[in-house]
Structures are given as structure tokens and as C-alpha cells.
Structure 1
Amino acid sequence: MKLSLLSILLGLGMAAPQIYGLAKPAAFTAAVRKFPRSLPAGYVLMALGTSWFLWNVKQEMLADFAAFKPHMLTAFALIGLGTCIFVQDFLAVRGLAIVLMLLAKLMVDTGRPHLGATAWVLVIQTWAYLLIVAGMWFTVSPWRLRDILNWATGSEKRVRIGSAIRLALALCIVLLGLTAFRAM
């Protein structure tokens, strides 16, 4: 994937919920507060995260693991399925954490070849490492995301300010994709 396309998609993907948060803060608050314990969202995110991880493992060409790859794929698929069955508390947060870490891998892998071309690549790389830290933290203590979301949606003013800040960041990422990363 090209860095410019990735930046545009990341920015637009980040902007969409922020526009909703600015337009309908009450509905946004209700949806955000339901998310951490949402089983349907958890199933979707765990399925996405497990599938994406399995695809990454399948694409990996390390000779040291070649003989074990079929067993690893089966074991990881069973872990993803088992998590959906036996670890349903905060499943959406755990699924999101996995997706965040896999997204960060994509961001780092896509940006790494262009580190020497422009310093703006560090914006994407830094964001990726922040996603990794967040993913690890929310995997270990998923209730923290619930607490953060409850605080961030504690008032309409917080929702609007937070959405505006995140929207500005999203638009900056899109702008980078359209300008600084255009040829990458």
C-alpha cells in the first residue's frame, strides 16, 4: 500500500466519527459509552483482528517457523475463537486493541521505506507507536478504555472539543497524504 493512500484512508476513517460527534453529541455519547461491552462489536473486531493476524503469519517467510506454520495458524485461530467464547467481558475493547496493533504494524511497514524522504513520515510512525502502546495497555486493562470514554463523554462540551481536536488531526493526516506523501 502506498503511504499517501494509507494516510488519506486513516484520516478519513478517523474523521467520520468526529463529524458525527460534532453534529450529534448526545447520540455519539450514547454509542461510545455502549462500545466497551458491546458483544456484536467485539465479535466483529475479534474476527477482523484474528483474520488479519492469521494473514500476517501466513505471509511471514521466516524459515525457523516454516514447519510449525500450519500448527501456529490453527492455534491462533482457536485462540481468537476461544476469546470470543470465554473472554466476553470487554471483548470489543480487546478486539479493538488487536486491530490497533495490527494497524500500527501496517503504518510502520508502509512508512519505513520513506523515512529518509521526508521527516513528515515520523508523524505516521509516531502515531503507530502510540497505537501499539494503547493496544497493549487496553489488552491488559480494558476497563481503562471504558473509563477514558466515560470521562471524554462526560459533557457535551468535552465531546465537541474532543471531536474537534481529533477532526483537526484527521484532516492534517489527509493533508499529508495529499501533499507530502503524494509521490510515496
Structure 2
Amino acid sequence: MILKNPSLVTIALALGAYLLATRAYALFDSERAMAWIKAFPRNRRMAPFLTAVVILWTAWWVHRAAGESESFKAMQPLVIVSAPVVWVLLVRFMDSFLNARAFSALLLLLARPVVMSAFVYYSALRLPITLIGYTMAVSGIIFGFSPHLLRDFLGWQMRTPARFRLICWSGILLGVCLLVLGGVVYPRIQ
């Protein structure tokens, strides 16, 4: 599975393509992108979907981990049954900043494959991916405990159109660098 044993090339190409595509779109249609980003932390239509993705991914990890341990094998059916119950309870009773919290959990879940992709390589060229992975983990922790900080951080990025364009261009540059690393450099060190 790609998320269990990710390749450094795959992670670099995926992150680079994501950054390039999203930042280029935000630069191209900045008014619509800024409106969407501003509404993101409290987006009640997207929150159930993002929460479902996080719960399914977490349930998959826990189910897999329970299957690898003899003492927890009996817990596997409980994981399958509890995942939809947890989703219903979260969507029903924790709707304030649910999208921001789900995004934070997604950052934490994504950080593991990103860091693990660079873990087995001793080249210093793996450090950009490692840095991105740990930044995702720390951001996920901070925004999970204080989801209003995500709203404030996104608001700071969009305070002026010039700042927003600068951040978009920075994301595009980082995306291109990751695509070059994933397409040219990392295949040579593997």
C-alpha cells in the first residue's frame, strides 16, 4: 500500500504536484480562492466529508495494528463498528471548527508517510521532505488544540492581496522544487 511504505519519489511528486496545482489556481482565481480559504475552518458542508476521511484512515490503521497483535485481535470488529458511531457523534455534537480539527487530524495522519518516505535514506537531500513532514505534524498538533489559530493563520496570509500572491508564488516555487527533486534527484539516490 502506498501509505504504508511510501517512496521518497512518490511523496515528493505528490506534494509538488499538489502545491503547484493549488497555488497556481489560487493565483489564477484569487478572489474565489481567498473566499474559500476564509470559510474553510468553519465550513459545515465539507466538515462531515473530511471527518469521514480522517476516521476511515484512523480506523484502518487501528484495525491493521490490532490484527498484528494477538492480544488485540478481538478488538478488530469493535474498530469497524465504532468508526461510524464516532463519525455521527463528532458531526452531531462537535460541529464548531470541526473542519479545522479534521484538517489538523489529516495533517497528523499525512505526516507519517511523508516522514517515513525519507527515513531510510542517509542523503542530506531527504531533509526537505523530512522538514515538510515534521512541519505537518507540528501544525496538526497546534491547529488541533487551537483551531482558531488556523483561522487566524489563514487570515494573516490573506490580509493583503500582495501577501497572498507572495505566498502563492512561494508555494509554486516549492512545488516546482519538489517536482524536480522527485523527478530527477531522488530516483538517483534510491
Q: TM-score, normalised by structure 2?
A: 0.87
- Counterpart AA for 2:168: S
Structure 2 gaps of 5+ residues are 1-5
Moved over 6 A (4+): none
Output aligned runs, 1:18-29, within 5 Å: 18-29=23-34
Q: Return the alpha-carbon distance in structure 1 between the equivalents of residues 165 and 38 of structure 2.
A: 15
Q: TM-score, normalised by structure 1?
A: 0.90
Output aligned runs, 1:11-160, within 5 Å: 11-60=16-65, 61-113=68-120, 115-116=121-122, 118-160=123-165
1:127 CA drift (Å):
1.1
Please state whether the residue corresponding to 1:40 is helix, strand or coil. coil
Q: Which range moved further: 7-16 or 72-81?
A: 72-81
Q: Return the alpha-carbon distance in structure 1 between the equivalents of residues 80 and 141 of structure 2.
A: 22
- Counterpart AA for 1:128: G
1:56 CA drift (Å):
1.4
Contact 2:63 2:79 in 1 (8 A): no
Contact 2:56 2:83 in 1 (8 A): no
Structure 1 gaps of 5+ residues are none
- Counterpart AA for 2:118: G
Contact 1:111 1:124 in 2 (8 A): yes
Cα RMSD after superposing both structures: 1.7
Contact 1:33 1:146 in 2 (8 A): yes
Equivalence for 2:10: 5
- Counterpart AA for 1:46: T
Q: Return the alpha-carbon distance in structure 2 between the equivalents of residues 59 and 87 of structure 1.
A: 27
Q: Return the alpha-carbon distance in structure 2 between the equivalents of residues 11 and 166 of structure 1.
A: 9
- Counterpart AA for 2:16: G
Q: Return the alpha-carbon distance in structure 1 between the equivalents of residues 106 and 20 of structure 2.
A: 18
Q: Count matched residues.
A: 182
Q: Return the alpha-carbon distance in structure 2 between the equivalents of residues 12 and 90 of structure 1.
A: 28
Q: Return the alpha-carbon distance in structure 1 between the equivalents of residues 108 and 118 of structure 2.
A: 15
Please state whether the residue corresponding to 1:15 is helix, strand or coil. helix
Describe the shift of the 1:81–1:129 C-alpha distance in structure 2 as closer, same or farther (beyond 3 A): farther
Q: Return the alpha-carbon distance in structure 2 between the equivalents of residues 120 and 57 of structure 1.
A: 32
Describe the shift of the 1:174–1:82 C-alpha distance in structure 2 as closer, same or farther (beyond 3 A): same
